[in-house]
Structure 1
Amino acid sequence: MNKNKISEKQSELKSWLKKIGLSQNEFAALFLEETYEYVTDKEIKRFQESFKKQLRRKSTKPERIEAYLEYLYTTEKFKEAGYIKPQSFSGDILEPIAAKMMRKISKELTEKIEL
């Protein structure tokens, strides 16, 4: 995945957090507490700082951001906000230019719905 795709995924995660009213710190704490049985306040603070850096760095592994997104889709806050996990299909059916146009249209529709 190129740096631009990572940037897009980071932006997507930040956008979802904003839409459902979760701060980056709140999300990081939830994620850590869900991932590990027992965590200390110190570990949570450390992870919150690490999480914020991961949302800025272009060297963040895309799998890491995907894991955060997948977790986000399962949270109560996400469901309570009335959202469902986004689905996308990209196969060999569409030419690359058509697929790009479809993503653009989808993004524009989503933005209009959110208004």
Structure 2
Amino acid sequence: MGTETERLQREIKRLIKQLGWSQKRFARELLAMTDEGDCATEDEVGQYEERVKKHLSRSATKPELLQRYLHQLQQHDAFDDLKVVVPYFVPTEGFNMEFVKGMQAISMKLDE
């Protein structure tokens, strides 16, 4: 099943593979979506590529950072071409936490 970090890393890698991108291309696209991307030097772009590549492989990467990468990827124009539906869970007050956690566990197993 894996940790939340591992699950997010797998999901991001799966989506960038579907786009036909390398991890370096993914990093360049992420950087281009930021304000820093407009004025980054080649060295800075290379450093950013390596940093993102490491984030996609290290188990110590924070899930929050990977969630941000995933969100940015979903906002990219090329993502629309994938015709992928991104599920979004909105908790309802009527569900108890045990039920929600059980449903999340089932969802994670289906993702594998």
Q: Counterparts of 2:103 and 2:31 in 1: how far apart (Å)?
A: 39
Look up the match of 1:55: 56
TM-score norm. by structure 2 comes to: 0.78
Q: Counterpart amino acid of 1:96?
A: K
TM-score norm. by structure 1 comes to: 0.76
Once the two structures are TM-superposed, the CA of residue 73 in structure 1 deviates from its matched residue by 0.3
- Counting aligned pairs with the same residue, the percent is 28
C-alpha RMSD of matched pairs (Å): 2.3
Look up the match of 1:72: 73
- The answer to which structure, 1 or 2, has the higher relative contact order (CA under 8 A, 6+ apart) is 2
Does 1:83 pair with 2:88?
Answer: no
Look up the match of 1:18: 17
Contact preservation (8 Å) 1:73, 1:84: no
Unmatched segments (≥5 aa) in structure 1: 109-115
In structure 2, relative to structure 1, the CA distance for the partners of 1:38 and 1:85 (3 Å cut) is farther
In structure 2, relative to structure 1, the CA distance for the partners of 1:90 and 1:23 (3 Å cut) is farther
Unmatched segments (≥5 aa) in structure 2: none
Look up the match of 1:42: 43
Does 1:5 pair with 2:10?
Answer: no
Question: Which of 70, 74, 96 pairs up with 2:101?
Answer: 96
Q: Counterparts of 1:95 and 1:54 in 2: how far apart (Å)?
A: 28
Look up the match of 2:29: 30
Work out the number of aligned pairs and report it.
105
In structure 2, relative to structure 1, the CA distance for the partners of 1:70 and 1:98 (3 Å cut) is closer
Contact preservation (8 Å) 1:33, 1:39: no
